Amino acid sequence: MKTKRLQLMIMATLFLGVNVGGASVAQGATLQHKSAVVTKKPTTKATVSTTNVSKVNTTKRSTFRPLVTKPAPKPVPKVTPKSNATKAATTAQKPVAKSTVTSAKATTVKPAASKAVKTSEANSIKANTAAITRNKVGSVVTPATERVENVPNVRVLLGSRSSDATVTSTANMVVLNGANGQVSTISANRGTSVGIRSGKIAVNGKAIDTVVTLKPANSDAPFLFEGKGYRGGLTLRANNGKMMVINSVPLEDYLYGVVPQEVVPSWPAAALEAQAVAARTYALHTMEENKGKLYDVSTSTDHQVYNGVSGETQATTNAVNKTKGMVMLYNQRPINALFHSDGGGYTEDSVNVWGSDVPYLKGVKDFSTGTSTSNWTVTTSRQALESKLNAASKGVGKLKSIQLTPLGKPGQQTSDRGVSGRIKSATFIGTSGKTTIDGDSLRSILGLKSTLFDFYVNYNPAKGTGKAYHNFTGSNDTVYIKGHGWGHGLGMSQWGAAEMAKRATPGDTNYYQTILRHYYSGITLKKMY
């Protein structure tokens, strides 16, 4: 009996062992299957690329460059000038380059120190993209030698368009949707079509989202948009049936494409460095003002002329690198660092130009001399003046006289002229009445370089030192308009800065700070990063 019981116990033990082992094997197989499911790549098809990638981030960002953190900017004083123009014309020798896309805002194109060097269309995209890092003489422009993580991104509006465009890069490009989730990857040197379809941004014909971002996987690799090179990444936004094209780029990289358009690269280094600091400060100020908008700055003289990689030069890149992170502050905030081409001997108080009394924008002596922008003369007629006044709805019939204090020496401010002599207002008297026009509007109506000028009716100022004459005879009057400077006259005079830089003593490697403190009253300079 005991033997049978022992046999039964042995059989039961063997039976249970087999089942427990089977369960363990089954459980192991299940875990192995689950592991395979977790690591398996999604099989969702993408028409943009043969490489499919899962969504990596669903958190919305205001900028699409996760490697660069945009610090919360310090509050800045609010300045609302009558005109949006913050930088006036610079030199006639350097015309503004036409953009490859249509500007979202119609603007009057003013001549500026912009020298666009377009990358020619090549049969090979690879050859084309390799060429975009070269300047007009073919020398390679050295990029930043190091990356600083807290450099903010600036959003530059390249334009708005309804037609498709082509994007490519020497590096692979990732495609992100509006939630910053990766959709696909575009192979290096592969031309990719972008456009708008049914209210969404489409890549290679496939609609993705209302906001799509393309950026090179290598942050140092530029990309081509319609044959023109840019650093950073590209954000495309569907807006009112068109595609807004925005270059989101680290501020220092943005300056590489700005500074050479705003100066003459052969100027002394101190002048280029002063311009780099002014451009950086102005960008930070404007970014704070426009942080709730879809973009920060445009590429025209409405803000700062920007030409991407195509316009970079070694001298200006060195100036940006030398002053990296240096900013002008007033009350611990980045200033509205306005600048203009030529002060014409003296800059102006902001209150006399746009009505806002800004403490750091005061009239000071300008050192610009002997350039074609310092002195100029326009010859016209009484009839032509009347025609322009009529076109601006300021007509007064047949002109009889102009009521305006004759231009004197700087510092002799009058009721109708500022501290530099720039016109605050002028009154035109005619057979049907009179009209008073402010200086900024008068400059625009007459198409002049600045508001620092005077009228000489039937007296040619080039033939003598005769005083201004403002009365018309009623016959075929010839009107000479003699003026000085180029631009609004606020802040730094670029040609004046160049002249100051020539006076720097050997070994003074920070003379750019002397230039900035001269043109911007009471500011402090601080390295922000």
**Residue pair 430/400 in contact by the 8 Å Cβ criterion:** yes
Residue with tokens 């905030």: 333
Residue 147: predicted pLDDT: 57
**Residue pair 281/265 in contact by the 8 Å Cβ criterion:** no
Picking from 62-66, 394-398, 475-479, which range would have the lowest pLDDT averaged per residue? Answer: 62-66
pTM of the model: 0.74
What is the mean pLDDT of the segment spanning 33-57?
33
DSSP string, 214-252: EEESSTT--EEETTEEESSEEEEEEETTEEEEEEEEEHH
Residue-wise pLDDT tens digits, 146-183:
556 689 999 999 999 999 999 999 999 999 999 989 99
Class of residue 461 by CB neighbours under 10 A (exposed 0-12, middle 13-18, buried 19+): middle
Residue-wise pLDDT tens digits, 409-457:
888 899 999 999 999 999 999 999 999 999 999 999 999 999 999 999 9
Residue-wise pLDDT tens digits, 511-520:
999 999 999 9
How is residue 163 annotated by DSSP? Answer: S
Q: Taking 80 as the threshold, does the pLDDT of residue 315 lie above it? A: yes
Residue 406: predicted pLDDT: 95
Long-range pairs of 514-519 with CB within 8 A, sequence gap ≥ 24: 514/270, 515/270, 515/271, 515/274, 516/274, 516/277, 516/278, 516/328, 516/492, 518/364, 519/339, 519/347, 519/364, 519/491, 519/492, 519/493
> 339-340 and 433-438 as β-strands: parallel, antiparallel, unpaired?
unpaired
Per-residue buried b or exposed e for 341-362, using 16+ beta carbons within 10 Å of the residue's own CB: bbbbbbbbbbebbbeeebebbb
115, two tokens: 């020298």
Q: Taking 90 as the threshold, does the pLDDT of residue 481 lie above it? A: yes
Distance CA 368, CA 499 (A): 6
Distance CA 109, CA 191 (A): 31
What is the mean pLDDT of the segment spanning 15-39?
36
Give the total residue count for the chain. 529
Residue-wise pLDDT tens digits, 244-271:
999 999 999 999 999 999 999 999 999 9
Residue 148: predicted pLDDT: 60
Q: Helix (H, G, I), strand (E, B), or coil: what is residue 86?
A: coil
Q: Taking 70 as the threshold, does the pLDDT of residue 69 lie above it? A: no
Residue 410: predicted pLDDT: 87
pLDDT band at 468 (very low <50, low <70, confident <90, very high): confident
Sign of torsion, CA 217 222 228 234? positive
pLDDT band at 372 (very low <50, low <70, confident <90, very high): confident
22, two tokens: 């089977």
Distance CA 487, CA 343 (A): 7
CA atoms within 13 A on the CB side of 383: 2
**Residue pair 282/338 in contact by the 8 Å Cβ criterion:** yes
What is the mean pLDDT of the segment spanning 485-492?
98
Distance CA 398, CA 380 (A): 15
**Residue pair 281/328 in contact by the 8 Å Cβ criterion:** yes
Q: At what angle do helices 251-262 and 269-289 cross, to 10 degrees?
A: 120
Sign of torsion, CA 206 212 217 220? positive
**Residue pair 253/494 in contact by the 8 Å Cβ criterion:** no
Task: Give the helix/strand (H/E) hosting 386.
Answer: helix 382-391
